[in-house]
């Protein structure tokens, strides 16, 4: 049996680096094997430390999972923003965000699934105005902002942008899940159905 070389000790002031390495290792393990295979011992082996060393930054495996969720939601938001670069038309920008959301879920199915796992308790929102402050709210805020820009440009008939942004988000999540789980269903070619959902739920004007 080959033993993993011990990880070099962090220099003074670099303790946060271990925390980041633990989160990255957990995310990689989830991508490879799914969340059920995740243990503190497996993470420790991946990083090159002993399991007790993780407790200096996390109280439990659930705390690690929550940090992974935060990290993945940040990655999702970055992915959406990158898709919108160079999209000057508000409708094209909204569609680019939505297609990017779907591609993120398709390309990272196990990591995407952990974002909405019941094992991770999400903080509640007391009102719709606080939705953007939820865990993962940054990605939602990007969709909401895009719909508001469509309204301001006169290309959306929406009068309730928050509700319509939620509807778009629900549709995107369902689309990712169904296209992944029922791949042999006779889906329309490409992502034409996705554009239909965007147009209808964001109340985009035709023509």
Say whether both 171 and 106 belong to one domain: yes
pTM equals: 0.81
Examine residue 93 and state whether it is found in any structural domain, yes or no: yes
Examine residue 48 and state whether it is found in any structural domain, yes or no: yes
Q: What is the tally of structural domains in the chain?
A: 2
Say what the pLDDT of residue 15 is. 56
- Distance from C-alpha of 99 to C-alpha of 172, rounded to nearest angstrom: 9
- Distance from C-alpha of 168 to C-alpha of 173, rounded to nearest angstrom: 9
Q: How many CA atoms lie within 13 A of 169 on its CB side?
A: 22
Q: Residue for token digits 């295979």?
A: 37
Examine residue 75 and state whether it is found in any structural domain, yes or no: yes
**pLDDT tens track for 128-145:** 556 656 667 889 999 999
Say whether both 46 and 101 belong to one domain: no
The CATH number assigned to the domain holding 47 equals: 1.10.10.60
**pLDDT tens track for 150-179:** 999 999 999 999 999 999 999 999 999 998
Say whether both 34 and 125 belong to one domain: no
Examine residue 122 and state whether it is found in any structural domain, yes or no: yes
- Distance from C-alpha of 8 to C-alpha of 115, rounded to nearest angstrom: 32
**Which domain, by its residues, includes 49?**
15-58
């Amino acid at each position: 049996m080959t033993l993993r070389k011990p990880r070099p000790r962090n220099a003074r002031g670099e303790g946060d680096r271990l925390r980041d390495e633990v989160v990255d290792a957990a995310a990689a393990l989830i991508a490879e094997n799914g969340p059920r295979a995740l243990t503190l011992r497996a993470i420790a082996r991946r990083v090159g430390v002993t399991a007790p060393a993780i407790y200096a930054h996390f109280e439990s495996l659930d705390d690690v999972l929550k940090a992974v969720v935060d990290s993945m939601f940040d990655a999702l938001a970055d992915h959406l923003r990158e898709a919108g670069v160079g999209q000057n038309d508000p409708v094209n920008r909204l569609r680019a965000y939505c297609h990017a959301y779907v591609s993120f879920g398709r390309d990272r199915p196990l990591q995407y699934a952990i974002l909405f796992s019941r094992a991770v308790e999400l903080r509640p929102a007391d009102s719709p105005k606080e939705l953007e402050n939820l865990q993962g709210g940054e990605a939602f805020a990007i969709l909401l902002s895009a719909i508001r820009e469509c309204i301001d440009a006169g290309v959306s008939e929406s009068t309730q942008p928050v509700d319509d942004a939620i509807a778009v988000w629900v549709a995107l999540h369902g689309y990712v899940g169904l296209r992944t789980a029922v791949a042999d269903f006779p889906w329309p070619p490409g992502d034409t159905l996705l554009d239909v959902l965007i147009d209808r739920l964001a109340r985009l004007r035709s023509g």
